[in-house]
Copies of this chain bind each other. A is one copy, B any other.
Amino acid sequence: MGQRPTILDVAKKAGVSKSTVSLVLQQSASVKESTRVAVRQAMADIGYVYNRSAATLRSSSSGLIGLVINDLRNPFFAEFATSFQMELAQNGFATVLANTDEDPLLQSRTISSLIEHGVSGFVISPAYGQEEDTLAVIEAAGVPTLQVFRALSQDDDRFPFVAPDYKLGGTCATEHLLEMGCKRIAFLGGLNGRAVTQERMSGYLDVLARHRQEPVILTGEVTRRFGKQMVAKLAADHPDVDGVICFNDLVGLGVLSACVESGIQVGRDLRVVGFDDIQDCQDSFPALSSVSCHIPDFAKTTAAQILSWINDGVRPNDHQRSEVELAIRASSGQP
C-alpha cells in the first residue's frame, strides 16, 4: 500500500463495503449514524484523500466552476473575482479563474480547456470579438453559463445575463451633479459603441436632455492614463465643463490625479463622479464619488444563481439588473 489509500482501504479498515464508504462521502442520509462515524474515523486513521477525478469521471460533475474574466488587472474585476471565489468555496466548489486580457482568441482557447476539465458551470465577463465561436463552443458542451457585466449576445437569449443597472447609475450620477449646481457636464471614457458604454451614457444623456443641457462626450479607453489626458483636453476644448461622469473609477482616478497636478480644485472647480466604486475610491484625494455596484453582494448573487442552476437545474432569468447606488464623496462635494 505504497499508494494513496482508496475507498476500498477505508472500507476494509471500517469493516464495511466500498459502497457504504461512497455513501458517507456523499453525505447520504441513508447511512446509519454509527457507521458514518466509523467510516469517518477510518478515513482519518489511514489518511484517506478523496479522488475527485474518479468521482468526476463516474458522475460527470466536477465541482469546478470556470470564472472567465476579460481584465483581471482592473481592480473592479479583481474584487469581484475574489468575492465570487470565496463564496463558491463556502459551497464546496473550486473556482478556476482565467484572464483573457480582452483577447477573444485566448478566450475561446481558455473556454475549451475549461470544458475539457469538466467545469460544471461558467461565469463569464466576455471579451468582445468572435462571439459566435465562443458561444457555440459553450453551447455545444451544454454547460450552464452566466454572463456577467457584459453580454456577447445582446439579442438572442442563449445565456442569461446579469449586470448592474448601468443606465440608472448614469442617471443618478448626472442628477447628482446637476443638484450640486454643475452647468456643463461631460462624459469621459468607455469604448464607443459598446453596450456598457451606451447604457451608462444613455442615463446621462436622458437627464441632460430633460434639463436642456448639451452633452460633452469624450469616449476612449478605460484607464487612469486616459483620465489624465482628458483633463488637459477638457481645459483646452471645453473650458466651461464643471462636472464629469467617468465611465469607470480608473478614468475617474486619472482625472483626479491630473487635476491635483494642474491645480484644479476638485469638488469646487470640477466635480467628478466615477463608476464601480472600487476600494481605491475611498482613499484617493479627494475621495471619489462613485456609482456603487455592491460588488460583494453582486458576487454572492451570481454565485447563488450559477449554483442553483447547476444543482437544481434552475436557469436564471435572461436579463437581470442589480441595484446601484451613488456613493457621494468629496470629489463631487462642496456645494
Interface residues of A (CB under 8 A from B): 47, 49-54, 56-57, 62-64, 72-73, 75, 78-79, 81-82, 85-86, 89, 92, 94-99, 101, 106, 109-110, 112-118, 140-141, 223-225, 228, 253-254, 257-258, 260-261, 279-280, 282-286
A98 pairs with B109, CB closer than 8 A: no
B-chain residues with CB within 8 Å of residue A89 when the two chains form the complex:
98, 106, 109-110, 113
A73 pairs with B75, CB closer than 8 A: yes
A82 pairs with B99, CB closer than 8 A: yes
Q: List 6 tightest A-B contacts by C-beta distance, closest first.
A: A224-B283, A257-B285, A97-B97, A53-B56, A78-B78, A53-B57
A85 pairs with B57, CB closer than 8 A: no
Choose among B86, B92, B110 the residue that contacts A101 (Cβ–Cβ < 8 A).
B86
**Given that A96-B95, A96-B97 are contacting pairs, would A116 and B52 also be in contact in the complex, using a CB cutoff of 8 Å?**
yes
Choose among B82, B99, B115 the residue that contacts A86 (Cβ–Cβ < 8 A).
B99
Instruction: Give A284 Cβ to nearest chain B Cβ, in Å.
Output: 6
Choose among B49, B56, B79 the residue that contacts A73 (Cβ–Cβ < 8 A).
B79
Main secondary structure on A side of the interface with B: helix
A73 pairs with B64, CB closer than 8 A: no
B-chain residues with CB within 8 Å of residue A62 when the two chains form the complex:
53
B-chain residues with CB within 8 Å of residue A52 when the two chains form the complex:
116-118
B-chain residues with CB within 8 Å of residue A47 when the two chains form the complex:
140
Instruction: Give A229 Cβ to nearest chain B Cβ, in Å.
Output: 11
Choose among B53, B94, B253 the residue that contacts A114 (Cβ–Cβ < 8 A).
B94
Besides A51-B118, A72-B81, 18 other CB < 8 A contacts?
A47-B140, A49-B115, A50-B116, A52-B116, A53-B57, A54-B57, A72-B78, A78-B78, A89-B106, A94-B113, A94-B114, A96-B96, A224-B280, A253-B283, A254-B283, A257-B283, A257-B284, A260-B285
Q: List 23 A-B contacts (CB under 8 A).
A: A49-B115, A49-B116, A49-B141, A51-B57, A51-B116, A54-B57, A57-B57, A72-B81, A72-B85, A73-B82, A73-B279, A75-B75, A78-B78, A85-B99, A89-B106, A89-B109, A89-B113, A92-B113, A95-B96, A95-B97, A95-B98, A96-B97, A253-B283
Q: Which residue of B lies closest to A55 (CB)?
A: B53
Docked pose: A101 CA to B141 CA in angstroms: 34
B94 pairs with A96, CB closer than 8 A: yes
Q: Which residue of B lies closest to A47 (CB)?
A: B140
Q: Which residue of B lies closest to A81 (CB)?
A: B72
Choose among B72, B279, B284 the residue that contacts A82 (Cβ–Cβ < 8 A).
B72
Instruction: Give A106 Cβ to nearest chain B Cβ, in Å.
Output: 7
Q: Which residue of B lies closest to A279 (CB)?
A: B73
Docked pose: A116 CA to B56 CA in angstroms: 11
B-chain residues with CB within 8 Å of residue A114 when the two chains form the complex:
94
B-chain residues with CB within 8 Å of residue A109 when the two chains form the complex:
89
